[in-house]
Amino acid sequence: MAGNVGLLKHASNVPQCALEIEDIHSPRGVPAGRVSDAANRSAQVECVIGDPRVQAVTLTGSEPAGAQVASQAGRRIKKTLLELGGSDPFIVMPSAYLERAVRTGVEARTINTGQSCIAAKRFIVDARIAEEFERKLVAGMSALRVGDPMDESMQVGPLATPEILEGLDQQVRRSVELGARVLTGGKRLDRPGNYYAPTVLADVPKAAPAYHEELFGPVAALYRTNGIEEAIRLANDTDFGLGASAWTNDEAEQRRFIDELEAGMVFINGMVVSDPRLPFGGAKRSGYGREMGAYGIREFVNVKTVRVA
């Protein structure tokens, strides 16, 4: 929309996605070549960033990839926009509509088999309703149908790669070794494919991977807190700050969550989603800058001041 040419470097394991994006743009009034697929290997990225025709770089991916791209662009004084990982809190207070919160929480944790930066990952529940919420969350996660993603009756599919499956399994195993309890799931499924059982962990200690790392799969970490102060403190006790979902019908609590949660996006009584009308992006190690909305369009333009006397 701003008139820029976009050069798309897809992840190495999904070249068809980039080709599809290029095809989608072609018949819709976008001039030929404005959005092009760069089928280059990761090792070639620095050469692309260093090309003087490339003015700025945006990346969606992991923290290490973001740090590498930002470093390469920074050495050449080029602007970057980073959308990295997340460990989004899903906070539930006593005034919330519990059934709706649980139903949305299950969906928010398992969307795309949990492989989403804005998936709800840490469930922070007030102690006054924690027992009922835990029972319903475990029942909801346990009831999910896991199987072939091409079968529309399935609700949870496989993880994208064997490496993601292995990493998630190790994170859960290590968390359990350090004291976390498995309320449901907690293991790979014994079948062909990268399947992991929908899982709920409780009593997660601070030293555990499930506490301080992003879990990129259908694994929920459940915490009990006493009051809003403790809920906000726990929600902010992370290096990430992408999205946050808070469930309460108390207007004073809503205002506090909006003001005090350290996240680029705060959704009240709803699941964090990506909407092209709204700026999308995070804080802390989740990255910087904004995609989508008017802010997203302006990220990659140069403001020129003109004064005619």
234-245 pLDDT tens trace: 999 999 999 999
Indicate the residue type of 9: K
- The answer to whether 138 touches 183, Cβ cutoff 8 Å, is yes
Strands 79-83 and 56-60, by their bridges, are parallel
Residue by residue, pLDDT tens for the chain (309 residues) are: 788 888 888 887 777 887 787 777 776 666 666 666 665 666 788 888 999 999 999 999 889 999 999 999 999 999 999 999 999 999 999 999 999 999 999 999 999 999 999 999 999 999 999 999 999 999 999 999 999 999 999 999 999 999 999 999 999 999 999 999 999 999 999 999 999 999 999 999 999 999 999 999 999 999 999 999 999 999 999 999 999 999 999 999 999 999 999 999 999 999 999 999 999 999 999 999 999 999 999 998 999 999 999
pLDDT at 113: 97
Query: Catalytic one among 117, 213, 253, 299?
Result: 117
Tell me the two tokens of residue 275.
Answer: 């909407």
User: In the annotation, is 83 catalytic?
Assistant: yes
**Active site annotation includes 229:** no
**Of 46, 47, 83, 262, which is the active-site residue?**
83
d(CA 216, CA 11): 16
User: Distances from the Cα of 209 to the Cαs of 164, 166, 219, in angstroms?
Assistant: 15, 14, 12
Half-sphere exposure of 47 (CA within 13 A, CB side): 6
Nearest partner of 274 among 106, 63, 83, judged by Cα: 83
Distances (CA, A) of 107 to 104, 119, 267: 5, 9, 15
